[in-house]
Amino acid sequence: MSQASPIKRRKSRQIMVGTVPVGGDAPISVQSMTNTETCDVQATVAQITAIAEAGADIVRVSVPSMDAEAFREIRKASPVPLVADIHFDHKIALKVADYGVDCLRINPGNIGKEQKVREVIAACKDKGIPIRIGVNAGSLGKELMRKYPEPTSEALIESALKNVDILDRHNFPDFKVSVKASEVFMAVAAYRGLAEQIEQPLHLGITEAGALRGGTVKSAVGLGMLLMEGIGDTLRVSLAADPVEEVKVGFEILKSLKLRTNGINFIACPSCSRQNFDVIGTMNELERRLEDIRTPMDVAVIGCIVNGPGEAREADVGMTGATPNNLIYLDGEPDHKVSNNNFVDHLEATIRKRAENLDAQRAREEAEIISSSH
């Protein structure tokens, strides 16, 4: 029952990362990165699969050495497009380009002589592989660090534009850029400045944001500011946590701005002494049980009748705490009552049934559109 986002996105050139469009009018894609040893093919594929099942569109894999052979096997088994993260050694970039990769993440400035960069660009042109220029406040070049005593948004932008110039001089427009910093204001200022100077898509991120709680807050603040302004075409939430959590947080940010849907949008009260059931325990259990649902839908779980009816009327499924029985709303209308005995089981079944109905309804609508177009 959610309405469309009022945000007007920045116009950008669209590139393809495997089967995933990035930029233009494509949905903002969500990424994460593996933290397994790349040479451990089985462990890396298992983590990629878990990340993909959480909803990720793209996964990045670091290839720090000649693990290119392992990367080839990993890509064969991956359910989503893969980005190879390469630094310093252009031969690794050439090898994974030859073996098969959906995007190369490089910093042209640290690849070495321009001849080496030219070889990488030629390989990408030949095989239709886009490039991501990745600038990070923690790894600016020596020249820039002599000019700027400490990392700044201006330094990030200057580094990005120097790398963009290399690709421009070699007539290679299929790239995206990130200018990440762990300091929120620096990152936001860098992205704002860069957005005005290039047409390519921007990969958003607050790098090294921290652990799950702190990193989530910093990412939500920084990425939220940029996304509200229409800046950003793909994102990664960088957390010192399970990569699956990065995907979940990324989608929660996009869902809150109505820019993307991926599963259930829960509306729940913080609970107080008026609650007629354990709201916190109920929410924890529902989130755990319903992680597999990808149907876009709103579910309201409110502990009492003060705000419950209003929130429930705006949701696909809602429950309002009441005495002696709680009231279930379906599609905004009061439908039936349920007691506190095993009501979580009942609510889960109700939500799953509603998700099935919504999926069937959307399938019918899509079929009608296709039929009318013929």
- CA 268 – CA 255 distance, rounded (Å): 15
In a domain, residue 135? The reply is: yes
Domain boundary among 228, 256, 284: 256
Identify the pLDDT of residue 367.
85
Residues in the chain with pLDDT values less than 70: 1-3, 66-67, 108-112, 374
Same domain, 321 and 192: no
In a domain, residue 137? The reply is: yes
In a domain, residue 8? The reply is: no
Same domain, 144 and 229: yes
Domains in the chain: how many in total?
2
Tell me the residue range of the domain where 344 lies: 264-373
Same domain, 219 and 272: no
Domain boundary among 240, 256, 272: 256
CATH classification at residue 87: 3.20.20.20
Which pTM value belongs to this model?
A: 0.89
Same domain, 35 and 182: yes
Burial 297-309 (b: 16+ CB within 10 A, else e): bbbbbbbbbeebb
Identify the pLDDT of residue 108.
61
Identify the pLDDT of residue 51.
97
CATH classification at residue 329: 3.30.413.10
Same domain, 102 and 203: yes
Beta strand 58-62 with 29-33 is parallel
Domain boundary among 256, 290, 320: 256
Same domain, 69 and 190: yes
